[in-house]
């Protein structure tokens, strides 16, 4: 069955600039490979060139996935500094400028995500009147840092804070409530208080209006050692699995990227590391594991609380 098509009411969407196009295509392909229901696979591409467009088309042909390309000009993004994150991350705040006819659910994925099992349950999950469903950000496991972030962006004490790398939208309701416009207004009004610009703006716009999902739906790098069966992996660290300096814990995912990109124009972006690089990556990984032992207890306690919430609320 062809699961891609403009008639589908479920869209899986990512955004990317030239540098992140290969990863974004891999993210969409991983979702496609783990889905049986009809869906649209959409790539919002910043400053798209003819070569970029051809590369995406050939990637889709090779893997049998129809990727809808929507060009987006970067000069439409707010003129501001985005810290360690590229300015392109702000593009997700303009998804309401892309025409998605007859879409009911829209699953947004950051370009540095990889789907490991079917996202089909998200298509029908009850959002209980909320505009968005998302997973708590890694910072939620560390109360002092969390409270500092709440104070900076104006969240109430006790409010949860989500990671915006994976977001499930009730798309008609979000459009009617101008959720993304509110987030853009937040940036225009008080971006100087934001550390993670777009994520902070979205959290401020959606306080009390989003549904918490189980962490398996957005397994950020810090959670990876503690979650055995991730549904969506989110490589939030600086070292990505398709890069030459990919971390040791990502080595199995590096192979997925190599397999996806083999025979495409982007094949050279993900090379298999040599023995020396592997040994260096292993040493660095072990060192960081020792360094992070003190955080393990906080992470375990936080994840157990999440599991209790999921069991009591029957979310998975």
DSSP readout, 167-214? EEEEHHHHHHTTHHHHHHHHHHHHGGG-SSHHHHHHHHHTTTSEEEPP
Dihedrals φ, ψ of 102, to 5°? Answer: 60, 25
DSSP-based helix, strand, coil % in the chain, nearest 5: 50, 15, 35
Specify the pLDDT at position 189: 86
Q: If DSSP codes are grouped into helix, strand and coil, which group holds residue 16?
A: strand
Q: Cα torsion at 24, 30, 36, 38 (round to 10°)?
A: 0
Handedness of CA 2, 50, 58, 231 (dihedral sign): negative
Q: Is the pLDDT of residue 307 over 90?
A: no
Q: Which two tokens stand for residue 233?
A: 């992996």
CB 63 within 8 Å of CB 3: no
Q: Is the pLDDT of residue 207 over 90?
A: yes
CATH class assigned to 1-316: alpha beta
Residues 6+ positions from 91 with CB-CB distance below 8 Å: 15, 44, 46, 72, 77
Residues 6+ positions from 219 with CB-CB distance below 8 Å: 227, 230, 231, 232, 233, 234
Q: What is the DSSP letter of 167?
A: E
How far is the C-alpha of 252 from the C-alpha of 242, rounded, in Å?
Answer: 11
Q: Are strands 162-170 and 105-109 parallel, antiparallel or unpaired?
A: antiparallel
**Average pLDDT, integer, range 72-88:** 74
**Average pLDDT, integer, range 275-288:** 51
pLDDT digits (tens, 9 = 90+) for 139-198: 998 899 999 999 999 999 999 999 999 999 999 999 999 999 999 999 988 878 888 889
Higher pLDDT, 47 or 249: 47
pLDDT bucket at 283, cuts 50 / 70 / 90: very low
Specify the pLDDT at position 4: 52
Number of H helices, E strands in the chain: 10, 10
Please name which of 170, 221, 167, 161 lies closest in space to residue 196, comparing C-alpha atoms: 161
CB 113 within 8 Å of CB 89: no
Q: Which two tokens stand for residue 67?
A: 């990727």
Q: If DSSP codes are grouped into helix, strand and coil, which group holds residue 236?
A: coil
pLDDT digits (tens, 9 = 90+) for 35-69: 989 999 999 999 999 999 999 999 999 999 999 99
Residues 6+ positions from 105 with CB-CB distance below 8 Å: 9, 10, 11, 122, 123, 168, 169, 170, 171
Q: Where are the domains of the chain?
A: 1-316
């Amino acid at each position: 069955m062809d699961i891609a098509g403009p008639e589908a009411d479920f869209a899986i969407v990512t955004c990317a600039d030239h540098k992140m196009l290969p990863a974004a295509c891999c993210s969409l392909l991983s979702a496609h490979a783990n889905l049986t229901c009809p869906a649209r696979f959409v790539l919002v591409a910043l400053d798209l060139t003819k070569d970029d467009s051809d590369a995406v088309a050939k990637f889709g042909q090779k893997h049998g996935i129809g990727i809808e390309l929507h060009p987006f000009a970067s000069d439409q993004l707010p003129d501001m500094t985005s810290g360690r994150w590229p300015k392109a991350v702000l593009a997700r705040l303009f998804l309401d400028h892309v025409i998605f006819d007859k879409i009911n659910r829209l699953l947004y994925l950051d370009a540095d995500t990889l789907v490991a099992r079917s996202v089909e349950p998200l298509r029908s999950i009850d959002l209980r009147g909320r505009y968005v469903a998302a997973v708590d950000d890694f910072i939620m496991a560390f109360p002092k840092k969390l409270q500092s972030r709440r104070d900076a962006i104006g969240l109430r004490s006790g409010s949860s804070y989500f990671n915006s790398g994976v977001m499930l939208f009730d798309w008609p309701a979000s459009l009617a409530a101008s959720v993304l416009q509110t987030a853009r207004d937040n940036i225009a009004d008080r971006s100087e208080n934001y550390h993670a610009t777009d994520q902070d703006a979205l959290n401020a716009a959606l306080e009390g209006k989003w549904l918490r999902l189980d962490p398996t739906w957005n397994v950020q790098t810090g959670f990876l050692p503690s979650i055995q069966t991730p549904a969506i992996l989110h490589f939030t660290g600086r070292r990505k699995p398709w890069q030459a300096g990919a971390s040791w814990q990502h080595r199995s995912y590096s192979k997925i990227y190599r397999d996806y990109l083999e025979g495409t124009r982007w094949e050279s972006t993900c090379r298999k590391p040599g023995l020396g690089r592997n040994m260096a990556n292993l040493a660095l990984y072990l060192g960081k594991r020792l360094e992070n032992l003190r955080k393990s207890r906080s992470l375990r306690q936080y994840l157990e609380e999440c599991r209790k919430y999921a069991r009591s609320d029957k979310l998975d």
